[in-house]
Structure 1
């Protein structure tokens, strides 16, 4: 292969003039970053904010200050992309450092600064006119909306909105409760600055940890009151989607929109244990497909996804459609032996087919499953994929984020079924995540003790799915099998235990006022 000689490489380099201009702009950017870093490390947040204002919002053109000369160079260079990149990264430098130092209030003050931006006038120097025009462009961009999104969530836990909100009782979009999905594209986008990606990843982790902890606390406290309540029917506690469901302890709200069905869903998922647990089935599948050619692997993967699912008519349609689509995936490798890399890429493609095939709208398979009440069915398929290829999780979150963006344009009343899917997805993956352990225990009643449950560790065929768990007012959908399973689930209590590592990893816990939570976490109820 031809390799360039030193002379060839020298001749292909940028001309001195163009390279000099690029280098000047890069140096100007670094001067601004360094000045801001020095300010956040050695000055007060108010002084750092004032420095930011003097650089970007109202540059004074002081020739004695390095940062003033730097922003003038960018203005003279007439390069809008460089200015916008510098502005955006500078914002995240401030936000990252204020978040670490717990100076959350200055995040909102940063946004307030942009409200003072004036439109350019002809009396200004040309470089200042350009900067004001670029600022107007930034304020109209998605990048600015992302910045506002961050600042709204960089608040002390005491002022964060309750997770138990009525989706139609707030001025914010109904998708705001699933905001952590909006963070995924930000930390997955390699074009974003490292500061923005780090902040997005950290904030996403914090929000997931908060959900995990809130769910565990809700389970513990709701069952305390649940044991004292009289149940007259296994249909008690029907799902009232996205309504308020507070237990007797005011500080422990249901972080989902599932209402009391949250407990039944957790029981249904945790009940799937023993030999036929999803983790064990995934391990068996991995052993069985080792050494298979790729074509056979794709067929086996479909069988693995539908294993033990109950809705035969929907599953038959799914199998035919998925096979047709999967036949078109990596056809050049069909005679090769499956590898870990190929398996990972294939699982990513299956997630794409299941969620958002075109990267914008719901896929055909997504509509097929959810239109037949198969939210839990789809979620279990996605869980199975992550169990055989853990790296799929980020790609899954990215695809779900596309759908959240898509459905954001519709009224909340039209999207309750989609919000239900998101809640089931969150609960299911939280239960299978590390940090909180959920187990089922007998509730200790005489009736329950006298009647053993033979199906608890039975083959999956004996473990009914309860459809999508929504026992609607239309009782025509509630079958005898649903009633039997609901009665079985109600005989159990959930034991939830949060590990100390989970508590320590959640920054907001250290900021909470002591309300007695700590001693409740490791206890069973």
Structure 2
């Protein structure tokens, strides 16, 4: 056994007994203090070794703890039991490991204790033999089962999905040790946080049906399937009309100084979700009114106070769930059997909004309901399970640290009233995590914290190492992340608006759907990063490295990407309207379907880039390198392509109406069936270009080099071909009505006669 921890040995006298004059602690407390100290100081492997050493071999590294346990075992049989000591020690370790999220260590704790090899034949020490016997008794007790159910995630049938409620009784039971309560509370909290986060992730990936096939499939944390979206929309839309929280505050304000009887008389009106004479609503109102009439009627003429409010809320919760401590109440059974589950969940919500402390009582009653139903097969409990799922949603929406918003997808009508067509809306959520705005991050171990949804607004994090952290849904608006290390960091749906990421390193970071509006990413390294659907409006990416970066469907409108390196990047379907890409490197980039209207691409390198179907109307590409680029079907109306290199480019069926291509190089380019009406190709080099079937009417081809070009069936009507070199070009069936020819070198006598006959 290693001597990793050995303090307090001087408190043992010469006979090996504890010196009571120096240590007045009870024997169990000595053991508990030992584990509390080492679990905070050492790694889990060392702590587990000490745990087995003490409770199996009576030989850990601390002599005080060894002697305390041995002395305990020497006590009379009624007091010698180490069962409660062992139980509490398990919870001490489990609680500390759950706080630090070392869940694997919790599993190993029981696993090692249960699988420790026995060697009873060699045991000569009576205390050690007694210890082994009691450990085996503990491993067969109900307490070890409670620990397993509490800390381990093994399936316990359909009810295990609602473990966060089943643990409520453990952490509110005063008979349980503080450590047991803390373990149950921490695990319950962890399960709720995971549910909230998974729900937020699921909603974030849930797009309108037209885009659903493009989204990553995320796990739905509910048992409601796609129905969860409709229920959420219905709940949030109802909240916009009725505002449950505001309604509760208003009711409490109006009944602040009334008698208890008047308070009870007003309650049914507040609790009713809607008026009307629907049978279930009418029966519910009658039952609640009758229940309240006789409730604490000896206080009827007292002025309402907090104690009466709490007791009334608890009584209403009992009335709506379980009244006798075992069986579902009449009203609960009635409501779920009549399909009024949503109404029941909202009713429970409205009760706890009157007294937030009643939430724990409600959760305890829900746990009792689960315990009642869990003896039945899942098929027989479908209505109850539906209630649990809707109840979970309602409590998450209105009582947890998550904000849900219903946003109309038609941005042209954002100011109008909420419509009945909920398909026109999408649910957005935002988690609120740790508030670290005032924290000294230099003294924090960020890797030990749950930073999902954390608030870092305006925080100074210059040159900090944030690599590999999970910052999903965090708020980093205005944060200073200059030269910070964010390599491999999870930044999904993060708010980075107006943040400073100057020269930051974001290699392979996940920034999908992140909001980076007006952020400073000057000279930042985003190589291999995921910016799918990110909002990069007006962002500064000057000289940034974006090699092989995923910018698919990203919004970069008005962004500055001057001299940025986007070689091999995927910008498919991205919005690059008005973007500055002057001198940018875009070799082999995927720009299919991008919106580059009015963008500046002067002197940009786009060799072998894919711009199929891209919209470049009014874009400035002067001096750009576009050799072997694919512009098939691209929109280039009024674009400036002067001095560009478009050699061997594919421009088939592209739209170049009014485009400026003065001195452009288009050698061997494919322009078949392209629309170049009114374009200016003066001095352009179209040697061996394929212009078959293209529209060149009213086009300026003054002194253009059109040597060996294919102009078969091209429309050259009213085109200006003065001084153009047409040597070896194919004009078969070309339309030249109104075209201007003159000083055209390279024309054969036969071709000149043909042109003359067409122009006469």
TM-score over 0.5 for the pair: yes
1:177 to 158, 161, 164: 161
For 1:94-493, list aligned pairs within 5 A.
Answer: 94-116=93-115, 131-132=131-132, 134-153=134-153, 172-222=156-206, 224=207, 226-228=209-211, 248-250=215-217, 252-274=218-240, 276-308=242-274, 312-444=278-410, 488-493=421-426
Note the aligned Cα RMSD (angstroms): 3.7
Q: Is the 8 A contact 1:355 1:399 kept in 2?
A: yes
Select between 115-124 and 261-270 the one with higher mean Cα deviation. 115-124
Taking the aligned partners of 1:200 and 1:218, their CA distance within structure 2 comes to: 27
How far apart are 1:50 and its partner, in Å? 2.3
Cα pair distance change 1:274/1:60, threshold 3 Å:
closer
| Alpha-carbon spacing, 1:495–1:344, altered in 2? closer, same or farther (3 Å) | same
What per-residue deviation string (whole Å, max 9, x for no partner) do you get for residues 18-74 of structure 1? xxx9xx996110111122233324444223212222333x24379993223222333
Show the counterpart of 2:58.
Answer: 60
Question: Cα distance, 1:121 vs. partner?
Answer: 7.9
The DSSP-based 3-state class of the residue aligned with 1:432 is: helix
Provide the rounded CA distance (Å) in 1 between the counterparts of 2:125 and 2:276: 72
Answer whether contact 2:158 2:378 (CA < 8 A) is retained: yes
Asked if structure 2 preserves the Cα contact closer than 8 Å seen for 1:209 and 1:506, the reply is no
Match of 2:497 in 1: none
Equivalent position of 1:517 in the other structure: 492
* 8 Å CA contact retained: 2:167, 2:185: yes
How far the C-alpha of 1:285 sits from its partner, in A, is 1.4
Aligned equivalents of 1:104 and 1:369: distance in 2? 40
**C-alpha separation between the residues in 2 aligned to 1:189 and 1:374?**
33
Determine helix, strand or coil for the equivalent of 2:404. Answer: strand
Question: Secondary structure in 2 aligned to 1:440?
Answer: strand
CA 1:310–1:81 in structure 2 vs 1: closer, same or farther (change >3 Å)? farther
Displacement after TM superposition at 1:399 (Å):
0.9
Secondary structure, counterpart of 1:517 in structure 2: coil
Counterpart Cα distance in 2 of 1:391 and 1:84: 35
Greater CA drift, 213-222 or 369-378: 213-222
Shift of residue 197, structure 1, vs aligned partner: 1.9
Q: Residues 204-231 of structure 1, C-alpha deviation per residue, up to 9 Å, x if partnerless?
A: 2222222212212211211x253436xx
Please list every run of 5 or more consecutive structure 2 residues that lacks an aligned counterpart in the other structure: 1-19, 437-445, 453-468, 472-487, 495-512, 516-533, 536-552, 554-760
* Aligned twin of 1:463: none
Match in the other structure for 1:84: 83
Post-superposition CA distance 1:274-297 (Å, at most 9, x none): 562212221221123222222332
Q: Structure 1 residues 320 and 297 mapped into 2: Cα distance closer, same or farther (>3 Å)? A: same
Contact 2:249 2:354 in 1 (8 A): yes
Q: Please state whether the residue corresponding to 2:82 is helix, strand or coil.
A: helix
Q: Does the 8 Å CA contact 1:379/1:424 hold for their aligned counterparts?
A: yes
1:114 CA displacement: 3.5
Separation in 2 of the partners of 1:506 and 1:268?
Answer: 35
1:119–1:371 distance in 2 versus 1, CA, 3 Å: farther
Aligned residue in 1 for 2:428:
495
Task: Kindly tell me the number of residue pairs found equivalent between the two proteins.
Answer: 435
Aligned equivalents of 2:40, 2:415: Cα separation in 1: 66
Give the Cα separation in 1 of the matches to 2:294 and 2:37: 54
Q: Quickly say closer, same or farther: Cα 1:515–1:34, change in 2 above 3 A.
A: closer
Q: 1:507 to 1:259 in 2, by over 3 A?
A: same
What are the Cα deviations for residues 336-395 of structure 1, in whole angstroms up to 9, with x where unaligned? Answer: 111012101210121111112122321221111111111111110111112111111111
Deviation of the 1:406 alpha carbon? 2.0
Q: CA deviation at 1:306?
A: 1.7
> How many angstroms apart in 2 are the aligned matches of 1:26 and 1:82?
18
Cα offset for 1:180? 0.8
Query: Under a length normalisation based on structure 1, what TM-score does the superposition of the two structures give?
Result: 0.73
TM-score normalised over the length of structure 2: 0.51
Would you say the 8 A contact 2:169–2:364 is kept in 1?
yes
Contact 1:498 1:521 (8 Å CA) reproduced: no
Tell me, what secondary structure is at the counterpart of 1:507?
Answer: coil
Q: Is the 8 A contact 2:138 2:144 kept in 1?
A: yes
1:71 aligns with 69
Once the two structures are superposed, residues 131-181 of structure 1 have per-residue CA deviations (whole angstroms, 9 ceiling, x without a partner) of 45544553344432232234325xxxxxxxxxxxxxxxx964111211111
**3-state SS in 1 of match to 2:302:** coil
Distance 2:340 2:290 in 1: 21
**Contact 2:470–2:491 (Cα < 8 Å) also in 1:** no
User: How far apart, CA to CA, are the structure 1 residues paired with 2:68 and 2:350?
Assistant: 53
* Structure 2: distance between partners of 1:64 and 1:208: 38
Larger radius of gyration: 2
CA shift for structure 1 position 260: 0.9
CA distance in 2 between counterparts of 1:172 and 1:298 reads 41
5+ residue gaps, structure 1, are: 1-20, 154-169, 230-245, 457-484
C-alpha distance in 1, partners of 2:42/2:124?
Answer: 31
* Matched position secondary structure for 1:362: coil
**Alignment-derived partner of residue 467 in structure 1:** none
| Contact 2:280–2:338 (Cα < 8 Å) also in 1 | yes
Distance 2:296 2:141 in 1: 37
Q: Which has the higher contact order (CA 8 A, sep 6+)?
A: 1
1:28/1:499 CA distance change after superposition, 3 Å = closer
What secondary structure does 2:152 align onto?
Answer: helix
CA contact (8 A) 1:267 1:489 kept: yes
- C-alpha distance in structure 1 between counterparts of 2:334 and 2:100, whole Å: 48
* Alpha-carbon distance in 2 for matches of 1:366, 1:118: 51
3-state secondary structure, aligned to 1:390: coil
Instruction: Check whether the contact 1:120–1:132 (CA below 8 A) recurs between aligned residues.
Output: no
Check 1:85–1:333 CA distance in 2 against 1; reply closer, same or farther (3 A cut).
Answer: farther
